[in-house]
Amino acid sequence: MIGNILTVGQQVFILFLLMIVGWALGKLKMIDDASYAGITNLALYLIIPCTMIQSFQFTFSKRMLLSFFLCGGISLAAHLSYFFLSRLFVRSKDQGDKKVLVMLAMFANCNFMGIPLLVSVLGKEGVFYGSAYAVVNPVLIWTLGQIYMSGSKSGTEIRKALVNPSTIGILIGLFLFITGLSLPKVVNTCIGYLAGMAVPLPMLLVGYMLCNLDLRKMLKDIRLWQGISLRIVFFPVLTLLILYLVGIRGDMLTAITIEAACPGATLIVLLSSKYKCNDKLAAALCSVSTIFSVLTMPVIVGIAQNLA
């Protein structure tokens, strides 16, 4: 087991070094808010969808297709469990703060943190299984998450829930997988080159996000530790335990655990601002959970690999 933890730890440490590069580029003003927004769009709308498409480049197998939908069902059940448990456990007198804490405990940054680690640890088969989690995550953010934060069903944006870059990439990949069609070699090579940026680019962005934080002040907020402990410790460990007990093994177990162990989703920071919740608390929780996930993810994922 120690060997698995060290192996995953090495991969996570590489991601951490990439984060440090992003942090340094921000401090040196080589990345600013404008370039951050542009690079974010590049990663979200092109790089990650290309990674999703490439992850489905397998010969069709009914077993793998059923496994994909099984992962989707597990991911949905996990998210709903996180929602009810976090509402039960989170304590805050301010309802706006509670909404932020619940949402960031529930939703993981499974694209920017999960996909690079899936690529590093499991390769494209891991991304294949983990992409089911990556479909459920944004759909629930734009539906259940938006209803909860806004307090009104009229604020939901169903189209955004269903039509987003990750979902489109997965649908294209799934179509190619089921039909057995192959992309032209030149196109497939181009997608491969773009997908190759799925590891470094998101990590540079996460590093930039951390460069202007007053970490010492943040760590004194007890509410922060409520959300962090649920997001990167309690929920991933609970998910791993339940999956193991019901008989899930192999890359599926590891892939879902990797996604579940990721830090808080950055999209919740934007929704917090939109619905006049505590967006500073959201940014702090997202950022600090990202830092501490460097320590927790190797242990949790290493245990998952050992059990798989």
Tell me how far apart the alpha carbons of residues 96 and 90 are, in angstroms, rounded to a whole number: 12
User: Around Cβ 275, how many Cβ atoms within 10 Å?
Assistant: 18
Residues 272-284: tens digit of each pLDDT: 767 777 777 887 8
How much is the pLDDT for 90? 87
Residues 215-257: tens digit of each pLDDT: 677 777 787 888 899 999 999 999 999 999 998 988 899 999 9
Give the pair of three-digit tokens for residue 38: 């542009």
Spatial contact of 303 and 1, defined as CB atoms under 8 Å apart:
yes
Q: What's the rounded mean pLDDT across residues 204-223?
A: 76
Averaged confidence pLDDT in the chain: 83
Range picked from 3-12, 155-164, 205-214, 284-293 for highest mean pLDDT: 284-293
Q: What's the rounded mean pLDDT across residues 14-29?
A: 87
Tell me how far apart the alpha carbons of residues 80 and 84 are, in angstroms, rounded to a whole number: 6
How much is the pLDDT for 81? 94
Tell me how far apart the alpha carbons of residues 220 and 100 are, in angstroms, rounded to a whole number: 17
Residues 283-298: tens digit of each pLDDT: 788 878 888 888 898 8
DSSP-assigned letters across all residues of 91-102: --SSHHHHHHHH
Give the SS3 label for residue 123: coil
Q: What's the rounded mean pLDDT across residues 131-147?
A: 82
Give the SS3 label for residue 33: helix
How much is the pLDDT for 158? 60
Residues 161-192: tens digit of each pLDDT: 566 677 788 888 889 888 888 888 899 899 98
Q: What's the rounded mean pLDDT across residues 49-69?
A: 83
Helix (H) or strand (E) holding 41: helix 33-42
Task: Give the torsion through C-alpha atoms of 228, 231, 233, 236, to 10 deg.
Answer: -170
Helices (H), 90-213: 95-106, 115-121, 124-140, 146-150, 158-162, 165-179, 185-195, 200-210
How much is the pLDDT for 242? 94
